Amino acid sequence: MSGTDIRRVGIVGGGQMGAGIAEVCARAGLDTLLCEANCPAATAARERIAVSLERAVQRGKLDRSSAEAALARIMATAELTDLADRQLVVEAVTEDADVKTSLFTALDKIVEDPAAILATNTSSLPVMRLGMTTGRADRVVGLHFFNPVPVLPLVEVVTTLHTSADVTADVTEFATDVLGKTVIHAHDRAGFVVNALLVPYVLSAIRVTESGFATATDVDRGMELGCAHPMGPLRLADLIGLDTVASIAVSLYDEFKEPLYAPPPQLMRMVEAGLLGRKTGRGFHTYHREERPGSPG
């Protein structure tokens, strides 16, 4: 099986990332099955994709017939066993090691084709840890997309010490030739390439506000206007989700024990308070309904 032979894809998790991955797969003409924890969540995830497709139509990025065809290719389910016939399954659940390892153990038993590939969209957890919970560690790989998935062109392909060369080649071909993404390759270390560089920068910006040295608005304005960044670090953190930023920081610090990776207390308190950024309407900035991902607008 080559990357272009993959036609049946499963995505587990219908949040921002999972829904985005499902959307790009469906837009690429693939039979796409999106699995969530329960029926209401599965329905909500598919509706989130419908809103995203409609937004693409309204912005002139997609014609209506293509949007309708893409949505028709997406089936939503609450039954993990429905993934049995998938050629590729991408895990996009919460950034929690126990949740992910349990899921990979289950998928290993459910997905019938021994040549099927099990991929994780983890931002920072060791891919090897997930692979070793299965009987097919050579078929497990990191396939890390970036938010918003339909817009950002990059995918990190992350290989472990067990990932076969064939799997690496197949998922690279799939991401580039089928999904139209640009691939960079990374070894299995916390943060991979992008987050290992990005997260210390974001944490540094949080420390600046935490110390009272500058406001969140001034930090973001400074980097946008002074360094030509399209988005300031704190607005970016809000977009990523402060819970996700904190999880990545914890993983980086656990692996490297470098102070620059340690999550600042302010970040952890905001996560505890449920102030997670755009998805909750408030983080370092406050967002109106139409600014939140997945909202009509």
- 144 catalytic? Reply is yes
- Please, which residues have CB within 8 angstroms of residue 40's CB and are 6 or more apart in sequence? none
H helices of the chain, where? 16-27, 39-58, 64-72, 97-110, 127-131, 165-173, 194-210, 216-226, 233-240, 242-256, 265-272
Distances (CA, A) of 164 to 117, 126, 136, 169, 170: 11, 17, 10, 9, 10
* Active site annotation includes 156: yes
**Residue tagged active-site, from 23, 95, 121, 123:** 123
Whole-angstrom Cα distance, residue 290 to residue 297? 5
204 is catalytic: no
> One of 52, 91, 124, 144 is an active-site residue; which one?
144
- In whole angstroms, what is the distance from residue 51 CA to residue 57 CA? 10
Which one of the listed residues 52, 195, 247, 251 is annotated catalytic? 195
| Residue 195 bears catalytic tag | yes
Among candidate residues 156, 162, 247, 251, the one labeled active-site is 156
Catalytically active residues, by annotation: 123, 144, 156, 195
